Chains A and B, each alone.
Chain A
Amino acid sequence: MAVNTAYAGRSYAPTEPYAVGREHVREFALAVGASHPAHHDVEAARALGHPDVVAPPTFLVVVAQRAEAQLIQDAEAGIDFSRVVHADERFTHHRPVHAGDELVTVLHVDSITERAGIAMVTTRCEISDAGGMPVASVVSTLAVRGEGA
């Protein structure tokens, strides 16, 4: 089944809040080899002016991925995950993410283009905090190979 290009331009309702946990920040930092003390030690983070441990720059993939599931797991969208390759990813932070943040995400499908049997699906997650202040944008492009590609 081909990717449904009619999904381009679609936006979704805000997600339920995602609670950023201190242990999860530490675990994610360990998994990517981020050993800076501000990821692990609350006092080291506070010494740099942060309220709690700082999430690594790519941590928000965890949050974005949950929001993107609204599109990916929608059978009508026609995205066969076994034929997906991650093409690009970009995080733009308006402020750092810390343990204790409650994050709400609005998913946008910015574009779906097809070329030579490959569909490029670009999504954008606009992530804000409990007070509605913008925290970050996460833009991700997936390449979905068609049956013949």
Chain B
Amino acid sequence: MAEYFIKHYDDLIKATLGHLQIVLLALAISLAAAVLLTILCSYSQTVSRLILGLLSMVYSIPSLAMFALMIPLTGLGQTTAVLVLVIYNQYLLLRNFLAGLEGVDHSITEAATGIGMTPMQVLVKIKAPLAKGAFLAGIRITMVATVSIATIAASINAGGLGIILFDGLRTMNVPKILWGSILSALLAILVDSLLSLLSKPSKP
């Protein structure tokens, strides 16, 4: 184990950084897309149900199959990997975001509307800050899921820790399998604890 690390630490570090890059890129795009979708959904129940239904269907496609399905469209490599991760993330993020917004006490939103806020102002000034906890919880789940699904991205040549893992599997190299798993688990724990710091309540 340690021997492998000493010999191949540069490969491991490179794979970890590549992994982190895919994850962070996917997360940034996912968040932007989820915010837009959330705003869209907040205007219409019908649209909201439609989008969630569609996303849950897509989410049920196994990731290996999904990566393979995208190859004819966007080819091999990182772009496809990030795209797939973004699509998966939409379900997790949107579900949590919408649940958070719906959890806001109805009397508060009614008062906000009643004193003359536009629907957008109610969303941005009242509902979103009050749903902050649910938002962060959703982002944490999504982050951890992204770290794990991103390993599969190695199957389409996108790099990351999946390379180490799949190589290890193919050659039955146990230290390689272990290092691939340990590092991706550590990465997941790391991003999760960073986010948990953010979700600490700041209000009295």
Answer whether A and B are interacting partners. Answer: no
Residues of B within 8 A of A (CB): none
Residues of chain A having any CB pair with chain B under 8 Å: none
